Amino acid sequence: MRPVNRGEWPKDVDGHNIPFADYSDARDDLIRRIGDYCSYCEVCLHGSIAVEHVRPKKPQPALEREWTNFLLACDNCNSTKSNKDVDLAHYFWPDRDNTVRVFDYDLDQPPRIKTGLDPVLRPIAERTIALTGLDRVPGHPSYSIRDRRYLKRKEVWGVALIARGNLKQNDTPQMRDSILHTAVSRGFWSVWLQVFHDDEEMRSSLIKWFPGTATDCFDGNTRPIPRLGGLV
Partner 1 sequence: MKIHQIKLKNFHCFEDREFSFGSRFNLIIGDNATGKTTLLDALSVGLGSLFLGFPEPASPRNITSDEVRLATYHHGDSWTVEPQYPTQVDCSGEVDGRQGTWHRALTSKDGRTTRQDADWIRAEASRLSEAVKQGQPAILPVISYYGTGRLWVQLRQTKTKASKVDTLKPDTRFVGYLDCLNPASDVKRLLEWFKTQEISALQQGTLNSTLEAARQAILSCIPGGSHVGFDVSRDELMIRFAERSLPFSFLSDGYRNMVAMVADIAVRCATLNPYLKAKSSQETPGVVLIDEIDLHLHPRWQRRVVDDLLRTFPKIQFFGTTHSPFVIQSLPPIEGVQLLNLDDEHAEEFANKSVEDISEEIQGIELPQRSKRFKDMMKAAEEYFAILGKAEQATPAERDAMKARLDALSMPYSDDPAYQAFLKMQRTSAGLDGEVQ
Measured from the CB atom, is 123 or 158 closer to partner 1? 158
Q: Which of 38, 75, 32, 41 is nearest to 191 (CA)?
A: 41
Measured from the CB atom, is 41 or 207 closer to partner 1? 41
Q: What is the rounded CA–CA span in Å between residue 30 and residue 50?
A: 10
In angstroms, give the least distance from the CB of 202 to partner 1.
19
- Give me the residues that bind partner 1 (CB under 8 A), please: 43, 45-48, 75, 106-109, 137-140, 145-146, 148, 150-152, 154-155, 158-159, 162
Measured from the CB atom, is 28 or 201 closer to partner 1? 28
Measured from the CB atom, is 88 or 151 closer to partner 1? 151
What is the DSSP secondary-structure string of the chain?
Answer: ---B---SPPB-TTSPBPP-SSGGGGHHHHHHHH-SB-TTT-BB-TT--EEEESS-TTT-GGGTT-GGGEEEE-HHHHHHHTT----GGGS--TTTS-GGGTEE--TTPPPEE-TTS-GGGHHHHHHHHHHHTTT--TTSTT--TT--HHHHHHHHHHHHHHHHHHHHH---HHHHHHHHHHHHHHB-HHHHHHHTTT-HHHHHHHHHHSTTB-GGGB-TTS-B-PPTTS--
In angstroms, give the least distance from the CB of 49 to partner 1.
9
Measured from the CB atom, is 140 or 208 closer to partner 1? 140
Q: Which of 81, 83, 117 is nearest to 99 (CA)?
A: 117
In angstroms, give the least distance from the CB of 137 to partner 1.
4
In angstroms, give the least distance from the CB of 138 to partner 1.
4
Measured from the CB atom, is 5 or 76 closer to partner 1? 76
In angstroms, give the least distance from the CB of 40 to partner 1.
16
